[in-house]
Structure 1
Amino acid sequence: MQWSLKLGTVAGTEVRVHVTFALLLIWIWVMHYRIGGPPAAFEGVAFIISVFLCVVLHEFGHIAAARHFGIKTPDITLLPIGGLARLERNPTGPLEEFVIAIAGPLVNVVIAGLVVMVIGGTLGWEQLLAPQDPRVDFLTRLAGVNIFLVVFNMIPAFPMDGGRVLRAILAWRLPWARATTLAARIGQSIAVAMGVFGVFFNPLLILIAIFVYFAAETEAQGSELQEISAGTSVSDVMITAFATLGPEARVGEAVELLLATSQSEFPVLNEAGRFEGLMTRESIVQAMKEKGAGAPVITVMRRDIPTVDEQSPIEISLRLMQEAGTPAVPVVDRSHRVVGFINYETIGELLMLRNADERFQPGGRVRHLP
């Protein structure tokens, strides 16, 4: 996920924290400082670290459940509202989805229950509902935060756990794609209501609502793409007629191709036809500004671009583009020679064609000519 920082790797899963987590830190710091000064503010930092650990345990609850079904988790991203665990593959049925989604909140239920047992009967709901108040006992606030994480994450809106539980329930009676779309639309409606509520009561809710709204849209689109591309490989829709650059080419040549063709991305291939790097419209413009037309493309091209096998499913190419932050990825054959490339435009055309005519079956190649 963009705007996230890597903290480390635990049991094969990369742990990342989203920059918006800082908003929670700032909020707690300010609230503590206003009430108790610097000592309370520093206690607030310790409190945030404890919350952070609870969120990590929440995510590893998801990970443990996913691994029970043979699903690996490459990374998790921690957010103020909880976290996102990215699964290597989607659950294959409602039961898997339900168990994996509910496992995280159950961890917070256990944590809250253990804290309440330690405290005993000395707390009331008014204390549990004030985790930002440093005058409330540390452990009481920690129990309150875990209760809040359970309640908030169980709101039926993607990407929160409640949205995935809702999809699992709907998927017992509906096709997976239809269940995803319906759950996403419900989540977006809740996000709109959350945003309106935030205008009058808490601006932080507006940011959360925006995140939830677009995350739900992304989830729905991903499910739609998965349904459309079932049985369709990258080779069926990749661009096969395209211009390339050699490692010895200059930026000026890339500019000429950009103006003379309809392409926005140009693979840089060596003499054997193997991928060396990628020149995008943005990198070409930037290179012209900084180094001029005479600069070799090999010094300015992007080298961190993954390749995708021509027999891979389309959703694999989309995931690679999203992870690498690139508008296109080259397609290679068994000899690792580039035989095409695929970009967001190609995937978008597949979706439009399918939506325009339900009878469309992507079996022939979609070709782009310069």
Structure 2
Amino acid sequence: MTWSFSIGHLFGSDLRIHATFFLLLAWVGAAAYAAAGPEAAVVNVVFVLALFACVVAHEFGHALTARRFGIATPDITLLPIGGLARLERMPEDPWQEVIVALAGPAVNVVIWAVLVFVFGAAPDLDALANIEDPAAGFWGRLAAVNLFLVVFNLIPAFPMDGGRVFRALLSIPLGRLRATRAAARAGQAMAFLFGFLGLFGGSPILLLIALFIFVAAASEASDVQLRDMARNVAAREAMITGYEALAPDDRMGAAAAALLRTTQHEFPVLGEGGRLVGVLTRDAIFKAVNEERRGASVAGEMETEIPAIGLGAPLTEALDALYAHNRPAVAVVDRQGVFLGYITRDNIGELIALGGRDGRG
């Protein structure tokens, strides 16, 4: 995710923080300092950090449960509005999806129980009304927020946890595609309600949540439709075979010239024997030119560890590889590993928009 950076790995996932998260900390600290002085500022900043530790635990509840079903979680990102676990794919078995969706709120229930029964926090939801008041009691506020997270996440607003449970249960009689469309429409309707409440209630956080739900619901509905259409399409029918390739020792100035004379956004970088060693993206070329590094080698600017699939692999395998590895392209290779072509998100979208195989449906 743009504007995020890694702070380390935990349980096999890259833990990332979005830059805007620090704006939230600064705002919380400044508001508390202005209201009650430096001690209140420190307490409230620590409280936000503790809260987001609970959010991270929530996301790892999803991630570790998904791993039991063979689904990896490449990264988890902390945002001002919460956390986002990027699973390489969602379980297609309805009951597996229900279990993965409920695992996150279940973690918050456990945290609430520990705070109440071990730390002696008062289980008082009135603490939510004084969430910004450092005198309200640290553990009581944290327990109340965890209980709120459980209730809020179980609202059936797809793609929140409750919305995923709703989609999974709908998919039993309707099938995954129709269920996703119905859940996405319900989620977007809920987003409008959140947006209305946020606008007239003066809550910018609720407005951001509404925007996230609306966009994410549409995006996931589109992804499920794309995946459904791609099941019966092979990699050979989607791969790009007309391209200009670069060599590892080419200069970035030559890559910039290639960008101008072609319509490519990605350039395969081929080594000895026609084997792919990396992919150079348009953004990397722009960056090198803007930083006046036209003489830099392509090998130093390209993305490596590009996933590869065979000619007969289903297109859904390419989608999984693109999403799980977060790479600009997937290579299509023969049995000897020789590069034959590549697949990008854009050309998958174009193929589906044209009706599948060669535009004939």
Distance 1:22 1:171 in 2: 39
Corresponding letter in the other structure for 1:75: D
Does structure 1 residue 231 correspond to structure 2 residue 232? Answer: yes
2:26 alignment partner, SS class: helix
Superposition pairs for residues 154-233 of structure 1, below 5 Å?
154-200=154-200, 201-233=202-234
Contact 2:57 2:107 (8 Å CA) reproduced? yes
Superposition pairs for residues 46-57 of structure 1, below 5 Å?
46-57=46-57
2:354 alignment partner, SS class: helix
Aligned to 2:241: 240
Distance 2:79 2:245 in 1: 41
Contact 2:8 2:16 (8 Å CA) reproduced? yes
Distance 2:334 2:44 in 1: 55
Corresponding letter in the other structure for 1:241: G
Distance verdict in 2 for CA 1:189–1:267, change over 3 Å: same
Corresponding letter in the other structure for 2:156: P
Distance verdict in 2 for CA 1:105–1:280, change over 3 Å: closer
Distance verdict in 2 for CA 1:257–1:35, change over 3 Å: closer
Contact 1:333 1:339 (8 Å CA) reproduced? yes
Does structure 1 residue 143 correspond to structure 2 residue 143? Answer: yes
Superposition pairs for residues 80-91 of structure 1, below 5 Å?
80-91=80-91
95-104 vs 265-274, which moves further: 265-274
> Which runs of 5 or more residues in structure 2 are unaligned?
none
Aligned to 2:335: 334
Distance verdict in 2 for CA 1:129–1:146, change over 3 Å: farther
Superposition pairs for residues 28-67 of structure 1, below 5 Å?
28-67=28-67
Distance verdict in 2 for CA 1:140–1:183, change over 3 Å: same
Distance verdict in 2 for CA 1:120–1:330, change over 3 Å: closer
Distance 2:116 2:316 in 1: 45
Distance 1:289 1:24 in 2: 31
Distance 2:119 2:265 in 1: 62
Corresponding letter in the other structure for 2:211: I
CA RMSD of aligned residues (A): 3.1
> By how many angstroms is 1:146 displaced?
0.4
1:223 alignment partner, SS class: helix
Q: Percent identity?
A: 45
Q: Could you give the per-residue CA deviations for residues 139-158 of structure 1, whole angstroms, max 9, x where no partner exists?
A: 11011110221122223234
> By how many angstroms is 1:258 displaced?
4.0
Distance verdict in 2 for CA 1:15–1:278, change over 3 Å: closer
Distance 1:25 1:286 in 2: 31
Contact 1:6 1:14 (8 Å CA) reproduced? yes
Give aligned pairs, total: 358
> By how many angstroms is 1:300 displaced?
6.3
Superposition pairs for residues 91-110 of structure 1, below 5 Å?
91-110=91-110
Q: Could you give the per-residue CA deviations for residues 135-175 of structure 1, whole angstroms, max 9, x where no partner exists?
A: 20111101111022112222323442122112112112211
2:335 alignment partner, SS class: coil
* TM-score of the two chains, using structure 1 as the length reference: 0.83
> Which runs of 5 or more residues in structure 1 are unaligned?
355-359
Contact 1:130 1:144 (8 Å CA) reproduced? no
* TM-score of the two chains, using structure 2 as the length reference: 0.85
Contact 1:278 1:305 (8 Å CA) reproduced? no
Q: Could you give the per-residue CA deviations for residues 316-336 of structure 1, whole angstroms, max 9, x where no partner exists?
A: 434554566654443333323
Aligned to 1:116: 116
Contact 1:306 1:320 (8 Å CA) reproduced? no
